[in-house]
Amino acid sequence: MTSHSRTPQPAPLGNWPTPLEAMPRLARSLGLGADDLWIKRDDLTGLGGGGNKIRKLEWICGTALADGATHLVTTGAAQSNHARLTAAAGARLGLGVVLVLAGTPGSSAAGNLALDGLFGATVVWAGDVRGAALGAVAEQVAGRLRDRGAVPALVPFGGSSVLGARGYAQCGRELLAQAPGLATVVVAAGSGGTMAGLVDTLGPARVLGVHCGAVADPAGTVSALASGLSDTTVEPGSLRLRLDQVGEGYGALTEPVMAALTRTARTEGIVLDPVYTGRAMAGLIAAVEDGDIVPGQRTVFLHTGGLPGLFGHPAALAAAEAELTVGEADLTVGE
């Protein structure tokens, strides 16, 4: 290695390895063996309230620091977990953070957005734009920062570049050590980097992605990222992707998702979010129902975080409140 080589190094931001825990009561409620279903706690990565973006941000921020960055600029929805964790990473590393968010001011100040404020991030509202148009606004913001003498680093949507996905190749290695004999890991697929990194380590046959409606072409997105990580092409058709949990779209709450939230909370005391992990669990339940996941094999559910998003989602909060039992204790509890 020469002094000019630019091997990227991750910036330490999280606590590794994250725990792997059993979910025996949820397993039994689904007709699986008590030992068949496990949960990988990537909601417990630590910094900023936790979540899967921390693994990607370690690589992206490490490279940004090596490049002399003074600011991080990224994009997302108003309730973006990725934006919130980028804000936390910037605070930890002493970098300024600008969040270019889809939407208009005043729409909501709850959930992730409240935390963005605590972490000291600057928000630029981009209006009703998505995809490349949102990225274009981020480029303009970065250009203005450069004009003023700053060194901005553009963090890709969801932290999903080949560099960021390296963090999930590492998560796959943790799973190989923690869950020998793993048959399937179930993961929410948003911007795709999480699934792509797992596919790189575990192969496409052991990773079941549940599309959340964040990108137009999930198979193409994941296959491009996974191919970028490896020497071989990962064909879109080789990926296990469920497309049946999107419903009315990314931000909309569905009945199977709300059922998954209450079932997981009541059997295991684990909270999921309405956009990502709730869809992933609804997809896992559907996969048990249609025989894609079977008893006697080890399944791991990847908890990717997102709890603040629950508190920024009025429909999910109203549905949760409607679940509240008031009055005499229910004698069937504990069944």
Per DSSP, 43 falls in state G
Which secondary-structure segment (H or E) carries 267?
Answer: helix 255-268
**Shorter beta-carbon distance to ligand PLP: residue 36 or 273:** 273
276 lines the binding site for ligand PLP (CB under 6 A): yes
- Give yes or no for a cis peptide into 274 (omega within 30° of 0): no
The answer to whether 80 is a known catalytic residue is yes
Region binding ligand PLP by CB under 6 A among candidate stretches 5-13, 61-69, 243-251, 300-308: 300-308
**Adjacent-strand bridge partners of 58:** none
What are the backbone dihedrals phi and psi of residue 146, each rounded to the nearest 5 degrees, phi first?
Answer: -60, -45
As a whole number of Å, the end-to-end CA separation of the chain is 61
Q: CA–CA separation, 227 vs 154, rounded Å?
A: 22
In terms of DSSP H, where are the helices of 109-254? Answer: 111-118, 131-147, 162-178, 193-202, 218-229
Tokens representing residue 158 in the block: 């969801």
Which is catalytic among the residues 29, 80, 223, 230? Answer: 80
Segment contacting ligand PLP (CB under 6 A): 29-37, 66-74, 234-242, 302-310?
A: 302-310
SS3 101: strand
Please list the helix, strand and coil fractions of the chain in percent, rounded to the nearest 5, in that order.
45, 15, 40
- The contact mask relative to ligand PLP for 160-189 (x = CB under 6 A, - = no) is x---------------------------xx
Nearest distance from C-beta of residue 307 to ligand PLP, angstroms: 8
Side-chain-side CA neighbours of residue 333 (13 Å): 6
Closest CA to 152 of 160, 140, 163: 140
Among 10, 156, 213, 306, binds ligand PLP (CB under 6 A): 306
Binding to ligand PLP by residue 304, rule CB under 6 A? yes
What are residue 179's phi and psi, to 5 degrees? -130, 70
Rounded to the nearest whole angstrom, what is the least distance from the CB of residue 65 to ligand PLP in the complex?
A: 22
Point out which span in 91-99, 169-177, 192-200, 241-249 binds ligand PLP (CB under 6 A).
Answer: 192-200
**Contact pick of 82, 166, 206, 313 for ligand PLP (by CB under 6 A):** 82
Position among 227, 245, 277, 299 found at the interface with ligand PLP (CB under 6 A):
277
Q: Does 81 bind ligand PLP (CB under 6 A)?
A: yes
The two tokens of residue 307 are: 């709890």
Q: Which of 36, 58, 200, 273 binds ligand PLP (CB under 6 A)?
A: 273
Q: Which of 74, 161, 184, 191 binds ligand PLP (CB under 6 A)?
A: 191
Q: Which stretch binds ligand PLP (CB under 6 A): 107-115, 141-149, 272-280, 312-320?
A: 272-280
For position 158 contacting ligand PLP by CB under 6 A, the verdict is: yes
Binding site for ligand PLP (CB under 6 A): 51-52, 81-82, 158, 160, 188-195, 273, 276-277, 304-306
**Which residues are known catalytic residues?**
80
